[in-house]
Structure 1
Amino acid sequence: MNKRNRYLLIPAALLSIAAISACGTNSSKDADIALRVAYNQWVGSAGLFIADSKGYFKDAGIDVKLIEFASPTEATQALLSDNVDIALTTLDTAVMVKSNEASKNLKVFSLTDLSSGADGIVADKDIKTIADLKGKTVAATIGAVNHFLLDHALKQAGLSESDVKLSNVAPEQTGPLFMSGKVDAAVTWEPYLSQSMAKGGNLLFSTKEAPDLIIDGMVASENLIQDHGSEIRKLVDAIDKGTQFYYSDTDEAATIVGEKLDASKDDVKSMMDGVKLIPQSEVKLKMTDGLSSLEQHAQDFSSFFLDKKLIKNDIKAPDLFDNFLYQ
């Protein structure tokens, strides 16, 4: 199991179609509802998988139906068309959706995990620093979050995209392309980072140095938050219980997650080396005292997408978040 599906983009035209489509709505205030939660196969959703497997949702008195999609993109499209109520997605996806959706007023209301070393830039052994990338060929995916990571690292080194030769390839091809010797460097993720370094590559930059740069959370419509805030709170608490279980009984937890991802227990543990599941005690800090930092990351994504002509409208980052759970 790798991470390639997290790097897919959302075509604006599809968002426009999805935004005006409405079927199977589940946002009325009537009594109990079954919360339909969209997810894709990503190890950072471990808390969700464990909560479902261990019966934590049932214990909390809520009915939760997990619906799998191929990527955060597809999960979000299902949210826009009312086929699900909540989507686990990446912050960059949420920003792009917010820019294009017209009526749902989608909100990021909680966080689940962040990349803490699972994504990075690897280069030939003779390339020692990001500054050394000047004039070199770097594999990335234009408009994807790996492209954003490259842009961030270059700026920190006083360079820009024009200082490198960008080889635009599909996200899952960047690491293998580097290992085949066809490019000087690549922006990729685990397991490709470790595989590349095992072959003599240098890790120039990773999300360990920018841990809030690639972050995942939960998104819902403003109406669902207003009408079913208590159920959402129970959902988040149950997922948090799953997160805590991962760190308290990692062997059993990794087995549960592996069953969901079609991966071995050891593979799950390896994938988790560069991922941090965020307990709600830390989410609260990020969504209150640290909210301005999250908003800045969201605004940076928006500016990046706008500059690359992937979106037509810049977002107002404060409108993207709703921290009602942490008031």
Structure 2
Amino acid sequence: MKIRRRQFFHLSAGAALAIVAHGCSQSQAEAPQPSGTTNSATENPGKISIGFWPVASGLPLFVADKRGYFKDAGLDVEVVKFASPNQVAEALIAGRLQGTGNGVASGVLGLSEITSPGLFKIIAANPSNVDYKLDQVIVAKNSSIQSVADLKGKKFATGPGAQNLAIAEAILAAAGVTNPQVQQLEVRQHVAAIESGQIDAAYTLEPTGTVGEMKGITRTLENGVVSKYILGDPKAPWFGGSAVLSSKFIQQYPATTKTYIEAYRRAIEDIRNKPDEMRQYMVGYTAIEGDLVQKVPLVAYTMYDEFKPEDIGYFQKFFDFMTDTKVFTKSVDVASLLYKPA
């Protein structure tokens, strides 16, 4: 499946992974609710805590928070920063969060579903590919390396964690690099490690490549490497991050859930229609600032009700890869994780 431009920027395209309704019996209208109401006099959720990882793909949450879309909808939403996707997932499992913003790794959320079955539903996901850039392999600016296949015998790094290691090894194997030796380094160290000669190349995530290029240290060897080497098509959508709500919250507050989702959708539509104007809302929520704000690539967003069968198929293919590489201890069904209004 090719990722269509309207799927990323038009009002019909979705913004983050969809929240799947879990056991809700109360039916509500799908249209956005008027400001200041949740369409239910009996629902009083109080403060709604939403965790985020401070990366560019979390933009919908930042826009909705900063532009007051949650307040407009009568919701008391608190956004909470965490140092890693793992910490966000742990807080969700512990019940300290009612949901997550986009950018929280889908693989980590999949692991949390295995740990606590029925934990959450996806309201939106953020796909990327060769055109909508997130994942990439970078090398030194003046390196003689011209393709991933040239990395045989080279010092290669990836971010920490089983998911990053599995992806990095799979990319190299698919390019014909046998017996790959991959070391794990924090993503923020990748550019410096290449500059010092500690490594020759890295599988990394934006804005690392853009930062390295702006500093004149690195260049991007390939973008969209997960789509190309794992999903089998450079244009295929890799749903690397997701926004979710807890199933418990959805069950207890079905009308509030719908109101929250429509406020979130409003932010996604802003990003699709006015991407350059919305970029400013990365500042303060992430370490991205200055000239980097306008240069870092933006990913796409797909709302729960915008997923097509091909999208679910590619999302499932990534989760099956996680199972095949033993990152997941059992298979996880993506379709069952998508939010479905009662």
Normalised by the length of structure 1, the TM-score is 0.75
Picking from 112, 129, 133, the partner of 2:151 is 133
Normalised by the length of structure 2, the TM-score is 0.72
Secondary structure, counterpart of 2:52 in structure 1: strand
Name 1:183's counterpart in structure 2: 199
Name 2:169's counterpart in structure 1: 151
Name 2:220's counterpart in structure 1: 203
Picking from 64, 72, 91, the partner of 1:51 is 64
Cα separation, 1, equivalents of 2:115 and 2:105: 16
Moved more, 84-93 or 258-267: 258-267
The percentage of counterpart residues that share the same residue type is: 19
Task: Please give the per-residue CA displacement for 1:69-102, whole angstroms capped at 9, x wherever unaligned.
Answer: 222221211111111111232101112212323x
Task: Please give the per-residue CA displacement for 1:91-130, whole angstroms capped at 9, x wherever unaligned.
Answer: 01112212323xx522342224234323211235222111
Secondary structure, counterpart of 1:205 in structure 2: strand
Alignment of 1:22-101 (within 5 A): 31-34=43-46, 35-88=48-101, 89-101=104-116
Alignment of 1:299-310 (within 5 A): 299-304=320-325, 306=326
Cα separation, 2, equivalents of 1:249 and 1:322: 27
Secondary structure, counterpart of 1:117 in structure 2: coil
Cα separation, 2, equivalents of 1:289 and 1:184: 36
Name 2:301's counterpart in structure 1: 278
Cα separation, 2, equivalents of 1:39 and 1:126: 38
Cα separation, 2, equivalents of 1:122 and 1:39: 26
Q: 1:262 to 1:203 in 2, by over 3 A?
A: closer
Moved more, 110-119 or 42-51: 110-119
Q: Would the aligned equivalents of 1:90 and 1:217 in 2 still touch at CA under 8 Å? A: yes
Cα separation, 2, equivalents of 1:255 and 1:142: 29
Cα separation, 2, equivalents of 1:66 and 1:200: 34
Name 1:111's counterpart in structure 2: 124
What is the CA-CA distance between 1:324 and the residue it aligns to?
A: 0.4
Cα separation, 2, equivalents of 1:250 and 1:117: 14
What is the CA-CA distance between 1:41 and the residue it aligns to?
A: 1.6
Q: Would the aligned equivalents of 1:175 and 1:188 in 2 still touch at CA under 8 Å? A: no
Secondary structure, counterpart of 1:299 in structure 2: helix
Structure with the largest fraction of helix: 1
Task: Please give the per-residue CA displacement for 1:250-295, whole angstroms capped at 9, x wherever unaligned.
Answer: 4543333313336436432222x1x324153xx5333655222212
Cα separation, 2, equivalents of 1:299 and 1:76: 20
Q: Would the aligned equivalents of 2:124 and 2:244 in 1 still touch at CA under 8 Å? A: no
RMSD of equivalent CA atoms: 3.0
Cα separation, 2, equivalents of 1:265 and 1:112: 27
Alignment of 1:306-321 (within 5 A): 306=326, 313-318=329-334, 321=337
Cα separation, 2, equivalents of 1:58 and 1:257: 19
Name 1:21's counterpart in structure 2: none
* Larger RCO (CA under 8 A, 6+ residues apart): 2
